[in-house]
Amino acid sequence: MQKLGIEMIAAYSPEARGRSERAFGTHQGRLPQELALMGITTMEAANGYLRDIYMPRFNEEFCVQASEEGSAFVDLGEVDLDEILCEQHERKVGRDNCVHFEGRVLQIPSNPYRCHYIGATVRVSLYGDGRVALFHGPRKLVEYDEKGGAICNWEKAA
């Protein structure tokens, strides 16, 4: 959130928790009765009723007009969300110039910047699709597919 410039405002106040709990209570109290009155007994029919009847009616009744026009969303600009929305871990490079991560042994290929990375701390980025990348500082050293095969040696490609 910090990298995206988002400030988190937690709902720790009893008032905020009470509002959400009352809303859940309203839905839990109303829905079973409405579904029974409509003779709805299947999940498919219940989802259709929620989508087509219940939610539009509920939103019409409780919707509040925004105090200002326009969007509250801010353009991200040149942001690589894959690099932000990934797990990041630090690892020490072993004496074999490899990093051990989640049962995989990831070898760092040679590059013109250093002859080896033995003892260096690198960042391991684990992406949602299973890819893994190794970074030394801001420099991406190598990227692997979900099976540990090198996809691209970024220093040789540059």
pLDDT in tens, 14-63: 777 777 788 888 888 888 999 999 999 999 999 999 999 999 998 898 88
CB 5 within 8 A of CB 73: no
**Region of residue 148 (phi > 0: left; psi between -120 and 50: alpha; otherwise: beta):** left
Residue 44, pLDDT score: 95
Average pLDDT of the chain? 86
C-alpha span between 40 and 53 (Å, rounded): 13
Q: Report pLDDT for 153.
A: 58
Q: φ and ψ at 154, to 5 degrees?
A: -65, -30
Q: Is the pLDDT of residue 9 over 60?
A: yes
| pTM tops 0.75, yes or no | no
pLDDT at 155: 46
Distance CA 6, CA 16 (A): 20
